[in-house]
């Protein structure tokens, strides 16, 4: 089928690690014989409204090819404090680019906000629309005053939506007022890249002390990932265990300075450090080297880092947020229903002292395959096409 993807997050030469799971989805659908076009509208703001971090966005190519797929990046005017107007400008500019490349059968708003603003524009046409939710694009937007009604309207205009976790599907159904309408289309895991490896060899490759237990935190350094809580929990480990352990943060984000300052304040520079952002291949090595992945999110869709770590045979301790529990179902002691540092530390200590079961964890993760994800997505898109054709016949 001819599929146009309208998205606000996709990898680029400038930001190669941003949205890699979205790229994996659409490369996989392309490999299954579907015609895929990617449109990734980028914000442009006149001075003095432009933000400093937009310098990276400005360097992104207007047209780029990745893995055999063409990515178009048209610009649209974005002004601060105008969320609704910005979303509609994103959608209008994106759809003009979509149609200029040839009429698709279905448009996937891949990230519900702002891409779902395309749904009302497509409603009177014979092009089907599916809204795909991934996490904060639904949960954060729905929680912000004035945006939940607009997102609900967009979902109802599309008539079809899916999400990466059952929890998120239920939130979208509730928001639209149509229980049971949404469909689960989870992300998969690349079992060839994320696989069990020799831990000592991985540590040697990363120049890590093989005698010290490694606690790993992977993800953007942002509030909802709460890296400061991860640091507090690590520092609350029993003294002897903490002395022979190391904490490494892999990722970047606006909390980096605050995290470095807190590490210094605690005198933890010998135990904790920031490794920055790394490519997926290097990330697989970090998972293989780790004794535990620690995730302290307050809000999640269905965290890919949990799947990746498990697929590498690495134990996980994660707070109970969003669809995280769906990934850890059947794995005792890996879901923390607390945000107290001391209690998290006690659970982490238990996990670090538990015998490693890499093969069992890897088998558990591999039930979440990309092939199953693609089949589920194809089902949603087929249903959207049938519904659109039926409505117009």
State the angle between helix axes of 20-31 and 370-392 in degrees (0 to 180), rounded to the nearest 10. 70
Residue 250 · residue 272 · CB < 8 Å? no
Superfamily per CATH, domain 199-365: Glycogen Phosphorylase B; (3.40.50.2000)
Tell me 388's DSSP state.
H
pLDDT of residue 49 exceeding 60: no
Q: Of all residues in the chain, what percent carry a pLDDT higher than 70?
A: 97
Residue 45: predicted pLDDT: 78
* Half-sphere exposure of residue 295: CA atoms within 13 angstroms, side-chain side: 33
Cis peptide before 205 (omega within 30 of 0): no
**What is the length of the chain?**
393
List pLDDT tens digits, range 243-279.
999 999 999 999 999 999 999 999 999 999 999 999 9
Q: Which residue has the higher pLDDT, 356 or 374?
A: 374
Least trusted range by pLDDT, from 265-274, 326-335, 358-367: 326-335
Residue from 9, 36, 31 nearest 20 by CA: 9
Residue 51: predicted pLDDT: 59
Distances (CA, A) of 308 to 3, 111, 257, 265, 385: 28, 21, 27, 32, 33
- Helix residue ranges per DSSP H, the chain: 20-31, 54-59, 83-100, 112-115, 118-122, 136-143, 148-158, 166-176, 199-205, 227-235, 239-243, 256-265, 280-289, 304-311, 324-328, 341-353, 358-365, 370-392
Residue 392: predicted pLDDT: 64
Work out the pLDDT band at 47, boundaries 50, 70, 90.
Answer: low
Distance CA 185, CA 169 (A): 9
Distance CA 256, CA 249 (A): 10
pLDDT of residue 52 exceeding 90: no
Q: What is the residue-wise DSSP string for 57-97?
A: HHHS-SEEEETTEEEE--EEE--TT-HHHHHHHHHHHHHHH
Mean pLDDT of 9-14: 94
By CB atoms closer than 10 A (0-12, 13-18, 19+), residue 48 is: exposed
Q: Which two tokens stand for residue 33?
A: 């014989």
Residue 55: predicted pLDDT: 79
Q: Which residue has the higher pLDDT, 146 or 99?
A: 99
By CB atoms closer than 10 A (0-12, 13-18, 19+), residue 299 is: middle
Residue 305: predicted pLDDT: 96
Per CATH, 2-188+370-392 and 199-365 having the same topology is answered yes
Collapsing DSSP states into helix, strand and coil, what is residue 98? helix
Mean pLDDT of 90-112: 96
Q: Which helix (H) or strand (E) holds 275?
A: strand 272-276
Least trusted range by pLDDT, from 55-59, 73-77, 123-127: 55-59
Domain limits of the chain?
A: 2-188+370-392, 199-365
Residue 194: predicted pLDDT: 96
Q: Which two tokens stand for residue 31?
A: 């490999």
Tell me the backbone φ, ψ of residue 275, rounded to 5 degrees: -95, -5
Q: Which of 248-263 are b and which e, b meaning 16 or more Cβ less than 10 Å from the residue's Cβ?
A: bbbbbeebbeebbebb
List pLDDT tens digits, range 185-215.
999 999 999 999 999 999 999 999 999 999 9
pLDDT of residue 168 exceeding 70: yes
Q: Which of 148-186 are b and which e, b meaning 16 or more Cβ less than 10 Å from the residue's Cβ?
A: eebbbbbbbbbbbbbbbbbbbbbbbbebbeeeebbbbbb
| Bridge partners, 317 (sequence order) | 294
Residue 332: predicted pLDDT: 82
Q: Which two tokens stand for residue 8?
A: 């606000």
Mean pLDDT of 173-183: 95
* Half-sphere exposure of residue 33: CA atoms within 13 angstroms, side-chain side: 3
CATH architecture of 2-188+370-392: 3-Layer(aba) Sandwich (3.40)
pTM attached to this predicted model: 0.89
List pLDDT tens digits, range 273-309.
999 999 999 999 999 999 999 999 998 988 999 999 9
């Amino acid at each position: 089928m001819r599929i146009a993807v309208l998205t606000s997050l996709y990898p680029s030469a400038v930001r190669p690690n941003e949205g890699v799971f979205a790229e994996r989805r659409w490369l996989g659908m392309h490999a299954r014989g579907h015609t895929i076009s990617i449109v990734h509208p980028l914000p442009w703001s006149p001075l003095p409204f432009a933000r400093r971090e937009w310098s990276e966005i400005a360097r992104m190519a207007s047209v780029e090819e990745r893995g055999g797929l063409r990515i178009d990046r048209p610009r649209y005017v974005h002004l601060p404090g105008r969320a609704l107007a910005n979303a509609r400008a994103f959608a209008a500019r994106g759809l003009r680019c979509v149609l200029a490349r040839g009429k698709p059968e279905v448009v996937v708003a891949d990230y519900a906000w702002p891409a779902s603003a395309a749904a009302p524009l497509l409603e009177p046409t014979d092009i089907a629309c599916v809204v795909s939710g991934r996490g904060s694009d639904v949960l954060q937007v729905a929680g912000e005053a004035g945006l939940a009604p607009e997102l609900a309207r967009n979902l109802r205009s599309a008539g079809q939506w899916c999400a990466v976790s059952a929890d998120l599907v239920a939130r979208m159904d509730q928001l639209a007022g149509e229980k049971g309408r949404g469909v689960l289309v989870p992300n998969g895991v690349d079992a060839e890249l994320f696989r069990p490896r020799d831990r000592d060899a991985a540590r040697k490759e990363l120049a890590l002390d093989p005698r010290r237990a490694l606690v790993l935190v992977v993800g953007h350094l942002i509030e909802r990932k709460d890296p400061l809580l991860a640091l507090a929990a690590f520092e609350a480990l029993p003294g002897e265990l903490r002395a022979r352990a190391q904490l490494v943060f892999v990722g970047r984000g606006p909390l980096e300075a605050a995290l470095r300052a807190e590490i210094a304040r605690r005198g933890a520079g010998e135990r904790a450090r920031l490794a920055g952002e790394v490519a997926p291949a290097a990330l697989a090595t970090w998972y293989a080297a780790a004794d535990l992945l620690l995730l302290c999110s307050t809000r999640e869709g269905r965290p890919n880092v949990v799947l990746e770590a498990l697929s590498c045979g690495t134990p996980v301790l994660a707070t109970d947020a969003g669809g995280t529990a769906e990934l850890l179902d059947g794995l005792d002691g890996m879901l923390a229903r607390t945000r107290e540092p001391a209690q998290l530390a006690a659970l982490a200590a238990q996990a670090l002292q538990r015998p490693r079961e890499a093969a069992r964890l890897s088998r558990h993760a591999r039930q979440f395959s990309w092939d199953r994800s693609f089949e589920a997505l194809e089902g949603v898109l087929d249903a959207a096409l049938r519904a659109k054709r039926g409505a117009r016949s």
